[in-house]
Amino acid sequence: MKNGLVNIEIFIALDRIRGKHGVNVGHWAKVAWGEAESQVRVSELRARAEKRGGRPFTYKKCVALTEALRQIIGSVAMAKELLELIRKTDDRDERMILYCLAIPEEDKPATEMYLKAVVERASKS
């Protein structure tokens, strides 16, 4: 991740999950951003994925699209899909991002406390 940008491959993977579960692009975008016009954002992200320019894929967009899929297809299905992506990813940083995306809402406070402790311990070394 550089300057809030996330590897576009994660968007491509999320879009594949959307397609696999038969989720309409417009519905996905509306759940993610709450606007009917948001489908344009997904189209522009696809254009970027195809190297034709378009919107950058930011962390906030990544989280919004992931959470929207979680709402639409369910937490268990989304966790399984993200674990499958994690197993296929060779890049440690991408795996870490995917692990964070896979954390259920109810486990985020405990996970954040753990991560904070790890980082603070490292800063004291």
Question: What φ, ψ does residue 58 adopt, rounded to 5°?
Answer: -90, 165
The full DSSP string for 76-96 is: HHHHHHHHHHHHH---HHHHH
The closest alpha carbon to 45, from 33, 29, 57, 28, belongs to: 57
Q: Which residue has the higher pLDDT, 78 or 45?
A: 78
Q: What is the mean pLDDT of residues 10-37?
A: 89
SS3 1: coil
pLDDT at residue 74 greater than cutoff 90: yes
The structure's pTM equals: 0.80
Summarize the confidence of residues 67-71 as an average pLDDT: 95
Structure-token match 């440690």, residue found: 92
Tokens (6 digits) for 110 = 């405990």
